[in-house]
Structure 1
Amino acid sequence: MDTTLQDPLVGQVLDGRYRIDARIAVGGMATVYRAVDTRLDRVLALKVMHPALAADGSFVERFIREAKSVARLAHPNVVQVFDQGTDGSYVYLAMEYIAGCTLRDVLRERGALQPRAALDILEPVLAALGAAHRAGFVHRDMKPENVLIGDDGRVKVADFGLVRSVDTVTSTTGAVLGTVAYLAPEQIETPGAADPRVDVYACGVVLYEMLTGEKPHDGDSPAIVLYKHLHENVPPPSAEVPGLPFALDDLVASATARTREVRPQDAVALLGQVRDARAGLTEEQLDAVPPQAVSAAHDNAEDRTSVIPRSLTVPRPLPVDEEEGFGPDEVDRTSRFQSPPPLPPRRRGARPRRGLLALVTVVLLVIGVGAGVWYINSGQFTKVPAVLTQSRAKAEQRLEAAGLEVGPVKHSYSDTVKRGTVISTDPEPGARIRKHDSVTLTVSDGPQTVKVPDVTGSRLDKAKELLTSDGLEPGQVTQEFSDDVIKGFVISTSPEAGTKRRAGSAVSIVVSKGAAIDVPDVTGEDLDDAKAELEEAGLTVEVSAEQVTSEFDKGQVAAQTPEADSQAADGDTVTLTLSKGPEMVEVPDVVGDSVDDAKTALEQAGFEVSEDRGLLGLFGDTVKKQSVDGGDTAPKGSTITITIR
């Protein structure tokens, strides 16, 4: 029975605008329909949240967040969102309709893909994610189901429902968002916290799956898969598909490094690595058909999943298996899955007669060349397998399985490669080597650690030398007063002496300023007296060239730095600023004014006011006299006495 006929929304018009014609897919949170926008008369996809979830605020928030996030990403490889709204119990998104299939459909039908096809899909995916990362968003749920491949060859990234801002940490009450097979280790260890490198990890897993037809980690339960993500590296694709170029192994290893600091910082950085890797591959390597690939042979009917898209953001060469001479419009067509092309039929022509000697020479030459080719391409030679980031034991097993001997094992410190795993090989992975020859492994000893030396009591310059000679870097130097340690010598370090730290780490140093001295107050004193008092306290005196007006007489100390009662070290400098005398201000004439008016005029001129009422002025309100006559000058801030009668 057609389940579409049972869907109550099919045939309905949502929000008075969107006529729902057919159901496309059903997910855990929403159902996607093909619909028509009756206002604009265009076909689109309508993503409708299940009514049972519409009452849950967190689900509705995710739904609306998807609309807002994607609306900010005007990118050709992102499924665009046109509208968001609510109709009764239905919450919906109106989105771009992509006629075609998903990458999951392609992998299910085709199995492993040719390297060219895998990179043609991966590049536009990374371009879309790169735009999201540079806009401050993380997808968090990259998987083949969310990669749409249109019938016209376009690649689109869909379902930004789990998108979050890069700097946002969410709490999911222990639930791990995203699909288990594509989760980065940090998403498992700290659910809700993610940065662009979780999308980079997922894209590395998707690339592995495209190249091999299988997921890198499998298990009988999700818990087993999660455990493998945390504790096992993604194996190189060439382990499943012999002959894959090392550059592809390296791409997968870089993107899926369990330590996120080792991965490319975002999809833009990974896209650069993909382009570099592609540039180094030959046409034969790009078009090699993996043994896991399902034959593309079928009848002459057009196959919608046979389209391999090409990145819309990067100019690409002619599609695979197209003849030269196509016009510019043909260059943008997409390549297709191809079976290995049939060998051209041999032309049987009449062989000219030649002398017996010439015939023998040709036969011997052919035999010699054939023997040389056989020797070079036969079992006498092999390639060094990819064993980087694998444990020493696994690396040795892979070398022995390839018919190679394990040569000397060297050790080296590494800040990025886990202790006990392989940093490099000599010859390097992918190099051609005679069977039974030896391969030298270099195994990581982890980060080099050193003990912080005890430099307390040493001069600062000597302490820096000791730290540098022990493989550490002198860090920030601060000063503190000390009654026990001489000025200029080290009081302590952070971290403390004896602490183990990674080589090259910075060590902060605290240096003594000597015993603290209380700075005496010399303001208002003559310069000679002030200098004598400060020098007796063990301080150095410096006189500022600038002078200021102040309440003090000319030549006396008006200000000092540091201020009085602060602390300084022996020999520190105290700067004195001298007074050029008080500022002289004209005194207003207030005789005959009321007391209030007189006080206001004098205070506004910068004077203090004192009242003299005597016995006769107890009830008076008129100024009969002032201590400084009006029109004369007096130091600003001085007191003017008014007599009231």
Structure 2
Amino acid sequence: MTTTPSDPMLGRLIDGRYQVRSRIARGGMATVYLATDLRLERRVAIKIMHGHLADDNTFKSRFVQEARSAARLAHPNVVNVFDQGQDSDMAYLVMEYLPGITLRDLLKDYSKLTPEQTIDIMEAVLGGLAAAHKAGIVHRDLKPENVLLADDGRIKIGDFGLARAASANTATGQALLGTIAYLSPELVTRGVADARSDIYALGIMMYEMLTGEQPFVGEAPMQIAYQHANDSVPMPSSKNPTVPRELDELVLWATAKDPEDRPRDARAMLDQLLDVEKLVRDPATAVAGIQPTMLLPNGIDPLTADAETQILGGTVPKHRTGPVEPSSTTRLAAKAASRKHKGYWLFALVVLLAALAGGTGWYFGAGPGSQVSVPQVVGKTKEDATALLEGTELAVSLSERNDADVPEGAVSGTYPAGGQSVRKGSTVTLFISLGPAILPVTAVAGLSEDAARQALAAFTVGDSIREFSSEVPAGIVIAALDKDGNPLGEQYPEKQKITLVVSVGPIPDVAGKSVAGATAMLQSVGLSAVPGEPEFSDEFPKDTVIAAVRASNAPVRVSDTLTLRVSKGQDVVAVPTVIGKTIAAARTELEALGFVVVADIPGFTEGVLTVNYQRPDAGKELKRGSTVKIYFGNPGD
């Protein structure tokens, strides 16, 4: 049997305080484990730098910088840092443990989010980032993987591994840090980062949340970097028509190529997001957007801000005197209203032209303006789904994505979704399933069942198999099996079935018990027992159990049936009388009963001479295999 090597960190006690339980995630600089703080008796996340980086002072200082950066922040939307230290040659960072998922996981499950969901998540992220910017910290690696969504509803920013002081905005002199898909133009071209670089990354994240895809894609990182440096981010509504114009404008503002055209920091963007939220959640208030002035909100949640608007390097009092300039929220609303009015005029012009041509009825009844329902094609082949969509007068665009529930090669969904009404001739994106994503598997042999289930949370862990073992303590995992019953390898498809084999301790020792007593003992631990054919035993008395065995060499599991080897006592037989018979006849009779025969005459005379004496005497009980001596002459005893 081949087993997956265990992570050497599992079970290790770090600095005499933190007991490592299971692995949570692995990144480029460090691996994050779930651990128990034995001193305070609480679960924590412990981030341990990769061993091959420990000797690199640059990486070590960056690792320590993360601890210092995060420790300076005390905000409900920032992951708390509890401790940082060095155990032998291993640098570690102890953080708050948040059971849940990341924003990336959420986007994988739902593709894109609603405007309201996007606003809710962005409010929390901007709140935490505003606290970082206020403290003079630029994150520099904002992406969905670093936004944590806890099971209890909390949203927090983590991973300040690339964070630097806001004043350190000169070129790094190294390869670009951060994830290329979210790098601002100034980071790509000059290696310069400040608070507005974080704002750009948030704008890209907003675009991805609203549309389900990133604005710039390419086969090589340099292709994506080139687009960031030279192209403008498109409006999210160009990909998802349901996105409100106000959010379009906010995304364009945050992703302006020139940093001077973006919000100056997270607080400025948060203020605008709160104003835009009113317009999005209650469209009737959008009329206020065309008024000459608009007051900013009177305050933010006291947990996220103090009484002043924060900027790096200074503050601006919230109350001013003198003329009030139109706020950027007002400008955003006005732009959105202008776009809407332009759209109305264009639509009116089309209707007018159609009416003049006498085709208004045709246009909206059977022409391009008519509505059709997107067919339900999930589970169909690409060819069948394409034919069905094109037969409904819809254009088809192909895309691929992982899906744990739809077989590879079949259609896993469409955008817009099946059942929605769209105009004839519209393009429907057909998502072809790549099958489940292939994920790394944590070795769980030797862990408790609860810890193993938590380590394998990305998969479907069914009911465990209970197996008897004299070597593995009860409650500890012996092995993990795939859906075919084979040992798991180092990788496995997401959400696929895994079965844990968990020890229930050794089989009860029933040797020497009665059949009824042994059967009761085995039934008490979930085993059945049937008596086998009685067998001779020199050690166990008649009608007692010698052992409980299984017919095959397979492991014994709960609900299995064992066979009881039952003793019928020693294998003894009475010595018959052979006096008066020929030596040959006596030998034949005694050997047939299992005795070893010794005679006092040569073999060629055995058929003629008779037995006059025998030892032992007739009637004596001996074990089979014992020696019986027969004599023609007087034995002299």
- Please classify the TM superposition score into its range, dividing by the shorter chain length: 0.3 to 0.5
So what's the TM-score if we normalise by structure 2? 0.46
